[in-house]
Each structure stands twice: as C-alpha cells, then as structure tokens.
Amino acid sequence: MRDVAIIGIGCTNFGELWDRSFRDLFVEAGVIAIEDAGIQGEEIDSMYVGNMSGGRFVEQEHIGSLIADYAGLASNLHVPATRVEAACASGGLALRQAILSVASGHDNIVVAAGAEKMTDVGMDTATDALAAAADREWEGIMGATFPGLYAMIAKLHMHTYGTTSEQLAAASVKNHHNGTMNPIAQFKNEISIDTVLNSNMVADPLHMFDCSPISDGASAVVVAAADIAKKYTDTPVYVKATTQASGTISLHDRADITTLDATVAAGQRAYKMARMTPDDIDMVEVHDCFSIAEICAIEDLGFFRKGDGGRATEAGDTAIGGRIPVNTSGGLKACGHPVGATGIKQAVEITQQLRGTAGKRQVDGAEVGMTHNVGGSGGTAVVHILSRNR
C-alpha cells in the first residue's frame, strides 16, 4: 500500500444557510479544496462523497452524479463519483474510501467531500430522518430518538461512574469556547454551565445545550499519493492510519451501554496501524453529537480511563493548552453537525492544526492529530491518524 497525504482542504460556513442550496454548498467546499491544492479538474481521478440522507432532507438521491456534474467534472471529464453512507459517519467513511483508492495505487489524486442540507425540512422531519440511523424496527418504533439513545448512555454513565450533569455541560462549554475562534462555526458564542443546565430538557439527563444542532454545510479534502504531494504543497499532511469498525446498530445489543465498541475497535486498529499510542496524539476531533458522546469517545479512544472522561473534561484536561485538546474546531456542538460533512470537517481541522494555520485555536507544537467519526449510536466508527511527518 502506498503512503497518502492530504494536499488541499475546503469548508463552507456551517449553520442555517437558508439562502444556499445543497449543490451550492458542495461546489463551494470543493472549489476551496481544489484551489488550496492547486490542482486542475483533469488531475482528479475520482471522488467520494459522504452524505447521510439527501433523500429525506432535500429529496435528492444520486448524490455522486449530482456532485460530479455541478462541480463541472461530469460532462467532459466523466470523473467517477461515489456516494458513501454510514449515517453521521458518512464523511469519515468517504475520506477513508478516498485514501484507500490512492493507497491501492488505482488513483493518484482523489477528492473526498461531505455535504448535508438539513434545514430545508422541519425539526420533526429532521429528527425522524436522523432516527433512521438507529434500528427503526426495534428502537424507533418504540419512540426512541437519537437524543433519547444517548440520554440512556448518559444515565448509565452517571449511575456507574458518578459523572455529573455539570461535567457533561463542561464539554459543551469548552466546545462553544473553541467555536468562538473558528470562522466557519455555526455558534461563535460563549456559554456557561448554567446555560446548559437551564436549557430545555430534551431527553433526561440531556439538555438542549448537550445536543449538537441541525446544520447545513459541506467540506472537502484532496488526497494524493505521498510521492507526488510535495509537488502541490509545502505542507502535506500524511495519513498514518485509516480504520473503520462496526458495532451493533441497536444500543440495547451493546455489551456495555456506556462503551461504543466500534470506537474502541477502530481506535485500537488505528494505533496499531500508525504504530502509536494515545500519548502520541497531540489533539483529537471526536464525534460529540451529544456531550456524553465526547465523554465516551475520549475514554473509548484511550485518552482517559473508563469513567474518568467527565472529571477530566471538567478539570480542563481537554481544553486547548490542556493534556489532550479535544474538538478545537468547536466540535459538532458549536461548529455544527451537517451529518455527511462532519467527518471531512474533522480532517480539515486537524490539517489546519498540523499546518500551523489554525489561528487562535492553534495547538502549540502540533505534530500528530486524530479524527473520530461515529454513525448512529455506535453502529459505525471511523478513525484517522494524521501527521506532519511521513
């Protein structure tokens, strides 16, 4: 397998973008990434597009073709474009497919993109579309919602480890703080622990500010064979590991409800592939669709002992400047969570950190970063380790 590098990144603003269409968004992100890489359309061998639910959110399927067409790559160049779906891990999985196609030697330059337009439908339809990432026949039919599933994880985590609502809230407070420094973030305002605890209860014990928002947005990266990467950029970011793992789609079938087995498996495989340990990681973008999801992720990825995630977050260990900065972008909570785009946005953030261009959110001496993207309540997990050094 060949080494692979990220040579270009692009991201739209994330938010409620009612004046922009689905196709506007992915074209914008794609063009930024392609210009950043300094490549021409003729050089793109293929594209992979992460999108969870175009059919539900914008009543559009056949997303691969749509993107190739509106990116100007279909009518003359006929660049192959493949849609990849793994619920909220669709973006991370699209990136993984792009990396694999270059690593295999089949392609030299591939664009991985992610896009979702979620605000064209009402809140109940959006919630229902997202619930399709769980087991519709045995969870959804019982009245389960996504916040409800993560609330059950939170309830047991609190019961088992003494995690508090304040500790959960600390994850959201930290991510909002990071979001204030990210130009593309949906929310750029500070919040307090009280803001979280006084917000509406969505599913006990999760308040509204424990939950990531409904968002529009798109993101894209250009990956290339490492041997040619220096032709395009002075600061290629090398892929040290790309891993994926499946877990039970239903939360009730999980051996330990507070552990996302797929995250544990994908994380362990990634450390092995990169020949690294959690101590080698300088910062990580984890899948914080809910505050409890961030707590579980930093435990399941080995940064903290099981049960210590809440206390560590409250103590500031995951802040920029802390032991392991988590979600410097603002995470899904503050940066926004256009589901198909999230996994790619994580790679965009880590690439900026490794290039040293993350501005006020820059982590000092960033050499190695990790992304962690989850589909559903843990049915899929995708992990990448990226490095400044080959």
Binding stretches for another protein (CB under 8 A): 124-125, 127-128, 131, 135-145, 147-148, 151-156, 159, 200-206, 250-253, 257
Q: How far is the CB of 265 from another protein (least distance, A)?
A: 15
Burial class (CB in 10 A: 0-12, 13-18, 19+), 289: buried
For another protein, the closer CB: 194 or 201: 201
Q: How far is the CB of 248 from another protein (least distance, A)?
A: 9
In the set 88, 211, 289, 296, the catalytic residue is: 88
109, 336 Cβ separation under 8 angstroms: no
For another protein, the closer CB: 94 or 129: 129
Q: How far is the CB of 93 from another protein (least distance, A)?
A: 23
285, 350 Cβ separation under 8 angstroms: yes
In this structure, is the dihedral angle defined by the CA atoms of residues 354, 355, 356 and 359, taken in order, positive or negative? negative
Please name the residues in contact with 360: beta carbons below 8 A apart, sequence gap of 6 or more.
181
Q: How far is the CB of 14 from another protein (least distance, A)?
A: 22
The neighbour count for residue 27, using CB atoms within 10 Å, is: 20
* Residue 370 CA: distances (Å) to CA of 95, 151, 278, 279, 325: 13, 26, 10, 12, 11
- How large is the C-alpha radius of gyration of the chain? 19
Spatial separation of the C-alpha atoms in residues 246 and 55, rounded to whole Å? 24
Structure tokens at 1: 């397998």
For another protein, the closer CB: 204 or 227: 204
Q: How far is the CB of 378 from another protein (least distance, A)?
A: 14
Structure tokens at 323: 């032991």
> DSSP character for 184?
T
For another protein, the closer CB: 62 or 201: 201
Q: What are phi and psi of 254, to 5 degrees?
A: -75, 135
In the set 157, 207, 337, 372, the catalytic residue is: 337
Q: How far is the CB of 56 from another protein (least distance, A)?
A: 12
Going by their DSSP bridges, the two strands 201-203 and 4-11 should be labelled as unpaired
Nearest CA to 360 out of 180, 200, 212 is that of 180
Structure tokens at 65: 């073709």
For another protein, the closer CB: 302 or 307: 307
For another protein, the closer CB: 195 or 235: 195
The neighbour count for residue 340, using CB atoms within 10 Å, is: 35
337 is catalytic: yes
289 is catalytic: no
Half-sphere exposure of 171 (CA within 13 A, CB side): 34
For another protein, the closer CB: 82 or 248: 248
Q: How far is the CB of 21 from another protein (least distance, A)?
A: 25
The size of the chain, in residues, is 390
Catalytic residue numbers read 88, 337
